Structure 1
Amino acid sequence: MLGIGVLMGVAGTVAMDVWAILLERFFGIARPNWGAVGRWVVEASRGRVFHDSIGDVAELPGEARIGWAFHYLVGAIYGLAFIALAGADWLNAPTFPAVWVFSLLTIGFGWFLLQPGLGLGWAASKTDAPWRARGLGLLAHTVFGLGMWGVALAV
């Protein structure tokens, strides 16, 4: 069951990344900067979680790799957490509403930890278009949930 949880989380993350590529290609919406996230991960491990702007912190070698690894690790953890909450019975008859609600709730970590950590404010409040960023985040997390659900249906 743990393996299925990890697979669900990784598949959800892949779905989210494909979604980001499509948004960039067809609508010109920039993909997430995983290098900045990697820099934040390193800074957080040193005890500095919140920044006025992560761009003010010197770039680090390998920060993009760190950011991408963190992105997929978090996805795998979310998959495990969902399976732990939903249980084996859910896998016997996976429903989208359950995984969708969970995937929407996970955006809270982005809104209230990662975004302020990067200097973007609570729930992207310091960006040029906070409601647009929030809406795109909710859509991305919906796609994450669809990816997780797809794996659950396949297994």
Structure 2
Amino acid sequence: MDYVGLTLLIGIGATAVMDLWGILRKPLLGIALPNYGLVGRWFAHMADGHFRHESIAAAAPVRGERLIGWAVHYLTGIAFAALLIAIWGIEWVRQPTPGPALIVGIGTVLAPFLLMQPGMGAGIAASRTPRPGAARLQSLLTHAVFGFGLYATAWVARSFYSP
């Protein structure tokens, strides 16, 4: 398997691990599943030049927004896996270590803090939400889980790697 294949496998796998965490949060912590339809709505409105909303929930719905949101979610995971492999090299996949995966995983929390949350009306780092501290902690935990997913999926993917 080559760079593209490994990137796809690791990105999709890590994103799926993050989604599993999202499912487990509900019974464990009482936190609702993420609504990727709203991400799709936000992303789709960008085509009209509308990058920031007071409240994405109040913005006009877009046909196919759930599918768009899920696609953006997984494509973003793949892009972050590509970043990990670009920085640490394809050889990292041969002998994955948790450090680089967690650095990238936790570092990806900057995307929602600085782009998504402000663009969707929640403010920088969820500052406009009812409980910003709790929202920030959940984002950080979720992205740490994504980092763990990068590492765990790389361990699976390494068996497919043949230089």
Q: Could you state the TM-score of these two structures normalised by the residue count of structure 1? A: 0.95
Q: Which residue of 2 aligns with 1:3?
A: 5
Q: Quick one: which of 126, 129, 134 aligns to 2:128?
A: 126
Q: Quick one: which of 68, 71, 78 aligns to 2:70?
A: 68
Q: Secondary structure at the match of 2:122?
A: coil
- How far apart, in 1, do the equivalents of 2:49 and 2:126 lie? 22
- How far apart, in 2, do the equivalents of 1:72 and 1:64 lie? 12
Per-residue Cα deviation, 1:126-155 (whole angstroms, up to 9, x for no partner): 001111111111111111111111121122
- How far apart, in 2, do the equivalents of 1:109 and 1:26 lie? 26
Percent identity between the two aligned chains: 40
Pairwise CA RMSD of aligned residues?
Answer: 1.1
- How far apart, in 2, do the equivalents of 1:69 and 1:92 lie? 28
**Structure 1: runs of 5+ lacking an equivalent:** none
Q: Secondary structure at the match of 1:49?
A: coil
Q: Which structure 2 residues correspond to residues 73-92 of structure 1 after superposition, within 5 A?
A: 73-92=75-94
Give the Å deviation of 1:85.
1.0
Q: Which structure 2 residues correspond to residues 25-44 of structure 1 after superposition, within 5 A?
A: 25-44=27-46
Q: Which structure 2 residues correspond to residues 108-147 of structure 1 after superposition, within 5 A?
A: 108-147=110-149
Q: Which residue of 1 aligns with 2:161?
A: none
Runs of 4+ in 1 over 4 A off after TM superposition: none
Give the Å deviation of 1:80.
1.1
Question: 2:55 touches 2:121 (CA, 8 Å); kept in 1?
Answer: yes
- How far apart, in 2, do the equivalents of 1:17 and 1:79 lie? 16
Q: Which structure 2 residues correspond to residues 9-24 of structure 1 after superposition, within 5 A?
A: 9-24=11-26
Per-residue Cα deviation, 1:102-133 (whole angstroms, up to 9, x for no partner): 11111111111100111000000000111111
**Structure 2: runs of 5+ lacking an equivalent:** 159-163
- How far apart, in 1, do the equivalents of 2:47 and 2:134 lie? 30
Question: 2:15 touches 2:149 (CA, 8 Å); kept in 1?
Answer: yes
Aligned residues: 155
**Aligned-partner residue type, residue 44 of structure 1:** M
- How far apart, in 1, do the equivalents of 2:110 and 2:90 lie? 25
